[in-house]
A and B are shown apart, each in its own frame.
Chain A
Amino acid sequence: MDSVISIKQLDKTYKSGHRALKSIDLDIKRGEIFALLGPNGAGKTTLIGVVCGLVKLTGGTVIADGHDITKDYRAARAKIGLVPQELATDMFETVWATVSFSRGLFGLAPNPAHIEKILKDLSLWDKKDNKIATLSGGMKRRVLIAKALSHEPKILFLDEPTAGVDVELRRDMWAMVGRLRDQGVTIILTTHYIEEAEEMADRIGVINKGEIILVEEKHALMKKLGQTRVTIGLKSKLDAPPDIPQKLDLSEDGETLTFTLTGEGDSEDAGVADVLKALMERKVDFKSVNTKRSSLEDIFVDLVEKKT
C-alpha cells in the first residue's frame, strides 16, 4: 500500500498524566479521504496535533510523505495543511494579508495568482480587503481553510470542519474537498456528522479512548456491520410468529412482523424475498414491507458501546 502517512505505536501522555493516545497504528493511503470518527475526548484532535507538530509525541513514530515528523520536521510539515477545530484568527489583518502570510510561513515564494484562486474557490474574493474581525464565523472558517491551502499541501487535515457551520459553507466545503481529492490531495477529517463521513470518505477509522478500534473501507464496513431492519405490516392479526425457517418477531398487537438482516446489497434483497415467499406459502397476507438500512451512526454507536 502506498501510505502517505504511516503511524506506528504512537503514544501520547499529557503532562496531566492523561494517556490520550494508546499505541496507535494507522496508515493513510495516498489520495484518499479518510474520516476519523470518535466521541468527544476520544483523541482525534490529539492525533492530528501530533502529526501536524502541535503536540509532542511521547512514543512511536509518524512518517508523513516519507519524512519523519520529528527528525525531518521541516520537510514533513511543508507537505501538510491544517484547519484546526477552534476558530483562531488574527483580528486586525485583512483576509489577503493573513492568507499570504501563511504561504510565506510555510516557506513558499509569494504567488498572488494562487492566493486569488483559493479565495475565489472559497467565495472569499470580495472580502479579501476586509479585516478578519468583521467577518462572520462561517467566513472566518473559510479564511482558515484558505490559510491551510495557501502552501499547496499534499495532505490536508480538517478537524471537525463542519461543526457549527451553515449549510452553504458545508456544501462549498465538500465541493472543495472533492476538487482537492481530484488533484491528488490526501484528506483526513474528523466529524460528528456521520452522514458526511458516509457520503464523502473512502475509508473510515473509529477511535475511542485513545485507541483505534476499527479501520475499514466504507463499503466493506457497511457490508460487515450494516444491518437492515425489515418491518412487515400484516393484513390480519396473528397470535404467534409464523412457522418459517427465518426467525421473525411479532409485535404485541400482533399486527407487525420484524426481523433483521445483516450484510449488504444482493444477499439482503434475497433475504427479504425468501421471507416474503415463505410467508405467502403459509398464507400470511401482508399490506406493507418496510426496510431500513442502519446508518454508519448506528454502527458506530454499537461499536463504541460494545467496547465500553
Chain B
Amino acid sequence: MSLNLHAVRAIYMFELHRTWRTLFQSIAAPVISTSLYFIVFGSAIGSQMTTIDGVSYGAFIIPGLTLLSILTESTSNGSFGIYLPRFTGTIYELLSAPVSVAEVLLGYVGAAATKSVILGSIILLTARLFVPYEIVHPVWAALFLVMIALTFSLFGFILGVWADGFEKLQIVPLLIITPLTFLGGTFYSIKMLPEFWQTVTLFNPIVYLVNGFRWAFYGKADVNAMVSFGMTALFMLACVAAITWIFKTGYRLRS
C-alpha cells in the first residue's frame, strides 16, 4: 500500500511551523547557552587546561556539548509534538485519519529530528567562532548526528505517549538526560576516572554516543568507534520496537 505522503507532509510541516513560532525557545536558547560553555571553556579557561589525547580542551568538549543540546531538544521536541494533541484532545483527528504508524512517525519524529539536526549544525558553526577545530570524519559525524537525533526524537515520542503530565516531559531531559550526558564523558575522558568508576560509567548509554561522536571529530575516543555505533543503532532499534508495540496495542492512545 502506498504511503499517505500528504499526511506525512502535513504533520511534518505543522511541527516545523510550531518550531518557527517558538523559534527563540527551540533554537536560540540552546544555541546561546551552549555558546557560553564554548566561551568559558574554549576561549577563557580552556587555554589554561591540558590537552586530552592531544586535543585542546575547548575542542574536546564540543562534540559532547553539541550532543547535550541534541539529546535534550530531540527528546522534548519529540515528546511535545505528540503530548500536546493528547493534552488538548486534538489527537482525535490523528486517530481518525487514514494514516499508518510509519506515517505518523515520519511526520512527528522526522520533524523533531530535523529541528535537532538544524540546531546541532548551528551550534557547531557557532563553536567555530570561539574554538578552532576540524572534523576528521565528517561523514561519520553527520551519520552519528542524524542517528542520534532520530533515536532521541523517537525516545521523546515514546515519552510523549507515556507521560500523563507536563512535569514528566520536563523531568526526563532535565533529571535523566542532562546528568547522564555530563557524566558520560562530555567534559572529561573517562580514562581520567578511577577504575571502578570507569566500569560504572560504561553502563551509561550516553557514553557511547558522546564517544562515537567525538571519534568522528578527532579520530580518538575512550570507546571503540564501532562499539559506539553498534550501541547507537541498538538504542534506535529498541525505540522502534517500543513504538511499534505502543501502536499495536493502542497503548494510551486508543481506548
Question: Which residues on A are within 8 Å of B, measured CB to CB?
Answer: 14-15, 49, 52-56, 73-78, 80, 82, 84, 86, 88-93, 97, 100-109, 147
Query: Contacting A88 at CB < 8 Å: which of B4, B7, B21, B92?
Result: B92
Question: Which residues on B are within 8 Å of A, measured CB to CB?
Answer: 1, 4, 6-7, 9-11, 14, 17-18, 21, 88-90, 92-100, 250, 254-255
Q: Are B6 and A53 in contact (CB under 8 A)?
A: no
Q: Shortest 3 CB-CB distances between A and B: which pairs?
A: A104-B10, A88-B89, A77-B98
Residues of chain B within 8 A of A76, CB atoms compared: 98
Given A74-B1, A84-B89, output 5 extra A-B contacts at Cβ < 8 Å.
Answer: A74-B4, A82-B93, A88-B92, A101-B10, A107-B7
CA of A54 to CA of B14, assembled, Å: 22
Greatest chain A CB density within 10 A among B1, B9, B17, B99 is at B99
Residues of chain A within 8 A of B9, CB atoms compared: 104
CA of A291 to CA of B11, assembled, Å: 59
Q: Are A75 and B98 in contact (CB under 8 A)?
A: yes
Residues of chain A within 8 A of B96, CB atoms compared: 52-54, 77, 80, 82
Q: Are B255 and A147 in contact (CB under 8 A)?
A: no
Residues of chain B within 8 A of A49, CB atoms compared: 255
Residues of chain A within 8 A of B94, CB atoms compared: 105
Q: Are A89 and B90 in contact (CB under 8 A)?
A: yes
20 A-B contact pairs sorted by A residue (CB < 8 Å): A15-B255, A52-B95, A52-B96, A53-B95, A74-B98, A82-B93, A82-B96, A84-B92, A88-B90, A88-B92, A90-B90, A91-B88, A93-B17, A103-B10, A104-B6, A105-B93, A106-B6, A106-B97, A107-B6, A107-B98
Q: Are A73 and B255 in contact (CB under 8 A)?
A: no
Greatest chain A CB density within 10 A among B96, B254, B255 is at B96
CA of A90 to CA of B88, assembled, Å: 7
CA of A101 to CA of B94, assembled, Å: 11
B164 vs chain A, min Cβ distance (A): 15
Query: Contacting B97 at CB < 8 Å: which of A88, A105, A109?
Result: A105
CA of A109 to CA of B11, assembled, Å: 14
CA of A217 to CA of B98, assembled, Å: 32
Q: Are A105 and B99 in contact (CB under 8 A)?
A: yes
Residues of chain B within 8 A of A80, CB atoms compared: 96
Q: Are A86 and B100 in contact (CB under 8 A)?
A: no
Closest to A82 in B: B96
CA of A5 to CA of B97, assembled, Å: 17
CA of A49 to CA of B96, assembled, Å: 9
Residues of chain A within 8 A of B90, CB atoms compared: 88-90
Closest to B254 in A: A56
- With A77-B98, A104-B7, A105-B99 as contacts: A56 and B93 at CB distance below 8 Å: no
CA of A6 to CA of B92, assembled, Å: 22
CA of A205 to CA of B158, assembled, Å: 40
Closest to A76 in B: B98
Closest to A109 in B: B6
B186 vs chain A, min Cβ distance (A): 34
A109 vs chain B, min Cβ distance (A): 6
Q: Are B14 and A77 in contact (CB under 8 A)?
A: no
Q: Are A106 and B92 in contact (CB under 8 A)?
A: no
- With A102-B93, A104-B6, A105-B97 as contacts: A88 and B250 at CB distance below 8 Å: no
Q: Are A73 and B92 in contact (CB under 8 A)?
A: no
Q: Are B17 and A107 in contact (CB under 8 A)?
A: no
Q: Are A54 and B7 in contact (CB under 8 A)?
A: no
Greatest chain B CB density within 10 A among A76, A91, A100, A106 is at A106
CA of A76 to CA of B99, assembled, Å: 11
Residues of chain A within 8 A of B4, CB atoms compared: 74, 107
Query: Contacting A86 at CB < 8 Å: which of B1, B7, B89?
Result: B89
Residues of chain A within 8 A of B250, CB atoms compared: 56
CA of A57 to CA of B250, assembled, Å: 11
Residues of chain A within 8 A of B6, CB atoms compared: 103-109
Closest to B3 in A: A107
